Amino acid sequence: MAIVSLANVSKSYPSPERGAPRIVAVDDVSLEIEAGEVTGIIGYSGAGKSTLVRLINALEPATDGTVTIDGRAITGLPERELRAVRLGIGMIFQQFNLFEAKTVAQNVAYPLKVAGWGKAEITARVQELLDFVGLADKARAYPDQLSGGQKQRVGIARALATRPRILLADEATSALDPETTQEVLALLKRVNEEYGVTMVVITHEMDVIQSIATKVAVMDGGRVIEQGDVFDVFSDPQHASSRKFVSTVVQGVPSPAELAVLRERHAGRIATFSFRDGDAAQARVFVELAQAGLEFELVYGGINDIRGRAFGHLTLAIRGEEAAIDRALARIGELVAVTEPPIGDGAVGDGAVGGGAVGDGAVGDGAQDGEAR
């Protein structure tokens, strides 16, 4: 059974302007999160990601629908009972949100005091947690004496103090440099694997998804427009809007600006071929092009690895007779996904020839500024 379940959940706020329609931050979202999974929530800023995770620990009450945690519906519970629910859900933040006036040890001890633990138990647990995150020597330091990575490790220790079964991470690595991001991600991975903590991570970084997520949900305009296994969503996004977002974070897909440059530099038709492991080998593509008597060159590309499974995108400039190119692309389209970015726009995903189904493009028209706290 899902440990977190959202059923037709919406969150709207009264508009600051009198008479204006309510601002919809989360719009009719249904999402099931299985115990032990790491679910990435991705999407552009303003898509409603932050609000969505705050519905899970009821920092934001849902205006519609039902949020169920561990089989218990929490929507509409009185504040006092919600506090008890929150003790079982840890949360970490982009800006760490440590208590600056408290030491590292006091920060980690805080949720335990809230939970009513005894003094000796708290001391032992704080020590255990600081050992786990590798900051035992910093127990008496204050947050302003720590680096960003150390601060987030304190944040993780603090969030895990009461042994929650769920951890919410709101852009937890976005304020860190790449190396520190890897450290923190490795720690989160250990949290998931050693303690079996279910995680919901908001992110816009491919690194985060690649290294820890098992499932992913794409948000746009307050809706979850696509969800599934990370590999499936990233290698073959079904929805136009998620395709657009995915193309901005995965390697090998040229941006519209890069496409314009490529067109200037290379004569011929530009086409992008998307491979997934298990699909026909790349070699077949080249063989088909060669057999059709076409001249081609590789102008852009990249291979992504998600949990040992690879997918990639290669963009070629193809020269030859138009009709011959059409025939060759149609044949290749039966083997792999072929995309010909239309001239002038260049957004990958529109006008796909064969391959993945074209999304309907009608993205929820909910308000974009749903990140209100």
Partner 1 sequence: MDKLIDLGPEFWTAAGETLYMVFFTMLFGGLAGLVLGIGLYVTRTGGLLPNVVVNNVLNVLINFFRPIPFIIFIAAVQPLTRAVIGIGIGTNAAVFALSLAASFAIGRIVEQNLLTVKPGVIEAARSMGAGPWRILTTVVIGEALGPLILGYTFIIVAVIDMSAMAGFLGGGGLGYFAQLYGYRQFEPIVTWAAVLLIIVFVQIVQYLGNWLARKVLRR
List interacting residues with partner 1 (CB under 8 A): 57, 59, 79-80, 83-87, 89-91, 93, 95, 97-102, 110-111, 113-115, 142, 144, 158-159, 162, 168, 373
Nearest distance in Å: CB 59, partner 1: 6
In contact, 250 and 314? CB cutoff 8 Å? no
- Is the Cβ–Cβ distance between 339 and 269 less than 8 Å? no
Helices 119-132 & 104-114 angle (0-180, nearest 10):
130
CA distance 115 to 371: 29
Is the CB of 29 or the CB of 109 nearer to partner 1?
Answer: 109
74/317 with CB nearer partner 1: 74
Instruction: Report in angstroms how near the CB of residue 93 gets to partner 1 at its nearest.
Output: 6
Nearer to partner 1, 154 or 253 (CB): 154
**Both tokens assigned to 254:** 């040229």
Determine the Cα–Cα distance for residues 6 and 66; give it in Å rounded to an integer: 6
Nearest approach, Cβ of residue 83 and partner 1 (Å): 4
- The nearest distance, CB 143 to partner 1, in angstroms, is 10
Other Cβ atoms closer than 10 A to 257: 9
State in angstroms the smallest separation of the CB of 97 from partner 1. Answer: 4
Q: Which is nearer to partner 1, 100 or 194 (CB)?
A: 100
166/325 with CB nearer partner 1? 166
Whole-number Å distance between alpha carbons of 23 and 150: 37
Radius of gyration of the chain (CA): 24
Distance CA(164)–CA(343), nearest Å, equals: 52
Task: Using the minimum distance from each CB to partner 1, give the nearer residue, 97 or 282.
Answer: 97
Choose among 315, 191, 207: nearest CA to 199.
Answer: 191
Tell me the C-alpha to C-alpha distance, in Å, between residue 69 and each of 38, 56, 73, 259: 16, 8, 6, 46
Looking at the Cβ atoms of 101 and 362, the one nearer to partner 1 is 101
Rounded to the nearest whole angstrom, what is the least distance from the CB of residue 163 to partner 1 in the complex?
A: 13
Calpha distance 209→185 (Å, rounded)? 10
- Closest contact distance (angstroms) between CB of 106 and partner 1 is 10
DSSP string covering 86-101: HHTEEEEETT----TT
In angstroms, what is the minimal distance from the CB of 39 to partner 1?
18
Contact at 8 Å (CB) between 235 and 223?
no
Judged by CB, which is closer to partner 1: 93, or 273?
93
